[in-house]
């Protein structure tokens, strides 16, 4: 697409080198605040310089999507968007209630986490350019090259279960992964399925941060589900809806925790704390993207400045801690331009937050009984796309995130776990 091509073409001159957008990420978590600030400014200058083109692309997309929806007899693209995503057993009203729970129970916990982070970093106030640095001792980073990481992952999946050993051995043997960042390579990470060969394929861009391990486990979760569902005669049954698919990936991130020492060694506890803190912190951002999209497609004729104003308003609601300082582009509501899903996959985002709440339930189960948690996870993966979202979480013994009390109970356990760790010593 035009959007992907534009972002892939980014050549950012930074510290006497030409960087891709993905290549800028490590610098945003640097210990030196000056480097963090310069990296952030350089990255967002690209978006600011291309804002007119980004807005024009999005204008066209919104108008075309709205036109298609009306032509098909829908009130607006929201109804069509839900239908396209296969959301057969929940509604925008259910999602709105979930967002309400997030605002009530998770946003205050995130504010506390930001407070802790501010103290850890010895700052008076947290600015946007400080958010990516979690520890003055440096963020946890994986040890070794891409080859080393794969070797360790082979050991991890071999020990996790017989099923994951066969699956991951096959992925490595058949070279079904493209992991390293390269010039001109599309950004992001995903898992796809090559039906002709009955095998999943993982695509991502390693950058030397903890994200490399997280994304490998994440995409391996997607790939493992596709592996488990490859023999369905009805092809559609092998592919679950998006929010279900993200349970597979996010849960794999957590079920592989016992092996994180292979990758992080002395930084293992630091990684785990960061992992949970980031996962919780992500949820308010995730529902922000969702609320923004609902508003956009309810008001398809909005101007670029009106869209930006609405985005900033939503940020104030769910991300009250965010301080963009002197970055005018971001302060005026430009951040959403960097969120690929808004352009490419409309309404595909709340899925991550719903799935994260479900994955946290697996984390709770694994704390009590890892064998039981794994067996339930296996049931979930084998179900593939043969059941709707609410049906499949019932199969896995999970509570619906839409039900009042679900979010509250999970955040209570997570907060207790985080509070049990002295983060100042990590």
pLDDT along the chain (426 residues), means of 10: 94 94 92 96 98 98 99 98 97 98 98 97 96 92 97 98 98 98 88 95 95 97 97 93 97 98 97 98 99 98 98 99 97 98 97 98 96 97 97 97 97 97 93
- Cβ atoms 347, 241 nearer than 8 A: no
pLDDT at 138: 86
* Dist. CA 35–CA 61, nearest whole Å: 36
- Which residues touch 338 (CB under 8 Å, ≥6 apart)? 47
Question: What is the predicted pLDDT for the residue at 183?
Answer: 87
Contact (CB, 8 A) for 224 and 248: yes
- Can you give the pLDDT at residue 251? 99
- What is the model's pLDDT at position 265? 97
Burial class (CB in 10 A: 0-12, 13-18, 19+), 399: middle
Per-residue pLDDT, 323 = 97
What domains can be seen in the chain, in order of their start residue?
A: 2-138+279-344 (no CATH), 146-263+363-425 (3.40.390)
User: Is the separation of the CB atoms in 192 and 203 below 8 Å?
Assistant: yes
Task: Check the CA dihedral 169-173-176-182 and report its sign.
Answer: positive
Question: How does pLDDT run across 313-341, given as a tens digit for each residue?
Answer: 999 999 999 999 999 999 999 999 999 99
What is the model's pLDDT at position 64? 98
What pLDDT score does 186 carry? Answer: 87
Comparing CA positions, the residue from 107, 103, 133 lying closest to residue 118 is 133
Q: Is 219 helix (H, G, I), strand (E, B) or coil?
A: helix
């Amino acid at each position: 697409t035009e959007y992907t091509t534009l972002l892939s073409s980014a050549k950012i001159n930074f510290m006497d080198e030409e960087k891709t957008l993905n290549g800028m990420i490590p610098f945003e978590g640097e210990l030196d605040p000056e480097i963090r600030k310069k990296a952030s400014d350089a990255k967002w200058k690209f978006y600011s310089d291309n804002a007119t083109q980004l807005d024009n692309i999005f204008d066209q997309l919104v108008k075309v999507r709205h036109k298609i929806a009306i032509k098909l007899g829908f009130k607006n693209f929201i109804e069509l968007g839900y239908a396209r995503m296969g959301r057969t057993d929940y509604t925008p009203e259910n999602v709105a209630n979930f967002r309400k729970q997030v605002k009530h129970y998770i946003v205050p916990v995130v504010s506390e986490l930001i407070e802790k982070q501010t103290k850890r970093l010895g700052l008076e106030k947290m600015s946007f350019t400080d958010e990516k640095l979690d520890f003055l001792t440096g963020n946890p980073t994986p040890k070794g090259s891409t080859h080393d990481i794969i070797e360790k992952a082979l050991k991890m999946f071999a020990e996790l279960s017989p099923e994951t050993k066969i699956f991951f051995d096959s992925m490595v043997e058949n070279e079904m992964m493209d992991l390293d960042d390269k010039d001109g390579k599309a950004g992001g990470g995903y898992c796809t399925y090559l039906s002709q060969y009955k095998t999943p394929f993982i695509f991502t861009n390693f950058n030397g941060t903890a994200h490399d391990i997280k994304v490998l486990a994440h995409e391996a979760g997607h790939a493992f589900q596709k592996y488990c569902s490859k023999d369905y005669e009805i092809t559609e049954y092998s592919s679950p809806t998006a929010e279900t698919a993200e349970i597979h990936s996010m849960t794999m991130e957590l079920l592989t925790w016992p092996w994180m020492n292979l990758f992080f060694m002395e930084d293992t506890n630091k990684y785990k704390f960061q992992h949970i803190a980031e996962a919780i912190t992500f949820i308010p951002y995730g529902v922000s993207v969702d609320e923004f999209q609902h508003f956009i497609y309810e008001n398809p004729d909005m101007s670029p400045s009106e869209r930006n104003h609405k985005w900033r308003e939503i940020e104030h609601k769910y991300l009250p801690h965010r301080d963009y300082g002197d970055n005018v582009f971001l302060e005026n509501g430009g951040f959403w331009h960097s969120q690929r899903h808004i352009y490419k996959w409309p309404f595909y985002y709340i899925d991550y937050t719903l799935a994260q709440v479900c994955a946290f339930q697996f984390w709770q189960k694994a704390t009590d009984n890892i064998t039981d948690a794994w067996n339930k996870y296996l049931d979930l993966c084998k179900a593939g796309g043969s059941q709707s979202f609410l049906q499949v979480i019932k199969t896995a013994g999970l509570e619906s995130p839409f039900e009042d009390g679900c979010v509250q109970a999970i955040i209570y356990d997570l907060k207790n776990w985080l509070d049990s760790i002295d983060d100042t010593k990590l």
